[in-house]
Amino acid sequence: MATLVVAEHNNTSLSEATSKTVSAAKALGTDIDILVAGQGASAASEAAAQIDGVRAVITVEHDLLARQMPEAMEATIMALMDGYDTVMAADTTTHKAYMPRVAAKLDTQQISSVTGIDGDVFERPIYAGNALAYVKSTGGKKVVTVRTTAFPLSGDGGSAASESKSVEIGDTGSTFVSEELTKSDRPELTGAKIVISGGRGMGSGENFALIDTIADKLGAAVGASRAAVDAGYVPNDYQVGQTGKAVAPQLYIAVGISGAIQHLAGMKDSKVIAAINKDEEAPIFQVADYGLVADLFKALPELDAELAKIGY
């Protein structure tokens, strides 16, 4: 019995999502190996070996794995699955893109975006988080993606064995062309301690500067509602919600966001929620710990000034 955790990394660095996935895997009580599938990924593999609770780090390198394309990931994992009864990965777009492929090849049902594990029972939100389903496998291998915000870091100080394996990958029918990555010095949205998000109420992309200033003061990540992304105010990777990213920071500040169920699905597990909205009837106030009924164009500069007063 062993679990294969697939690392979230970009070859040069390992994302915290990997350690959180390991901590989810620990709940299964089996040996845990990490797969680092990449190209020139030794730095990521070394970092993975430090995670507490890991038996071995298996590195597979291939041109087609440089960006972990779904078809190549499927081939890689299928080549290793004889030794494992569970494969687990974070529910980021990288892993969500190929894990169903692995599940289909194993003739099993993927258990997606798990938020809790108790024995053999997996908890997962459905219907935009308005219901929680508890499911268990009827047999066969398990393919699990986890919502990393629901699991703590696994800790470090591990000393996993390292192994390299090579895998044959045939013609995948898919070619990488280009990438436009959003550049930011701010913390990653799903791992940030504070997130400040803007919605349609921001009115324009330029107005997001009001949010950026506060984010920089607080060391926060910046998010957005779907409406703000659709309107082109901010890039798609800012979207928080049922069909965007799930976040659960210590503090979530929603500005000019009404609080549609699809948005709430991605942030209602935050420890503290603050909302600024000019409409006192906005549903966001029903989940906010602190609500401020105000025009954001007045409130955000004031917030900036008040933060300065306490040393930010």
Partner 1 sequence: MKVLVPVKRVLDYNVKARVKPDQTGVDLSNVKMSMNPFDEIAVEEAVRMQEAGTATETIAVSVGPAKAQETIRTALAMGMDRGVHITTDEDLEPLAVAKILKAVAEAEGAELVLMGKQAIDNDYGATGGMFAALMDWPIGQYANTLAPGEGTIEVKREIDGGLQTVTLKLPAVVTTDLRLNEPRYASLPNIMKAKRKPIEAKTPEDLGVDTTPRLTIVKVTEPKTREAGVIVETVAELVDKLKNEAGVI
| Residues 211-230 close enough to bind ligand FAD by CB under 6 A | 225-228
Which CB sits closer to ligand FAD, 220 or 234?
A: 234
Give which of partner 1, ligand FAD, none residue 19 binds (C-beta under 5 to 8 Å, depending on kind). none
Give the Cα-Cα-Cα angle 61, 152, 113 (nearest 5 degrees). 70
Which string of x and - marks every residue 101-120 that binds partner 1 (by CB under 8 A)? xxxxx-xxxxxxx-------
Site for partner 1 in 287-306 (CB under 8 A): 287-294, 299, 302-303, 306
* Of the candidates 43, 33, 31, the residue with the CA atom closest to the CA atom of residue 1: 31
Give the Cα separation of 170 and 138 in Å (integer).
Answer: 33
Minimum CB separation of residue 53 from partner 1 in Å reads 25
Which string of x and - marks every residue 182-201 that binds ligand FAD (by CB under 6 A)? -----------------xxx
Q: Is 260 exposed, middle or buried (0-12, 13-18, 19+ CB in 10 A)?
A: middle
Give the Cα separation of 14 and 92 in Å (integer).
Answer: 14
Q: Is 260 in the site for ligand FAD (CB under 6 A)?
A: yes
Which string of x and - marks every residue 290-309 that binds ligand FAD (by CB under 6 A)? -----xxx------------
Give 286's contacts (C-beta < 8 A, 6+ positions apart): 259
* Structure-block tokens of residue 115: 């938020």
Q: At what angle do helices 296-309 and 208-218 cross, to 10 degrees?
A: 20
Q: Is 272 in the site for partner 1 (CB under 8 A)?
A: yes
Q: Is 100 in the site for ligand FAD (CB under 6 A)?
A: no
Binding residues are 200, 225-226, 239-243, 256-263, 277
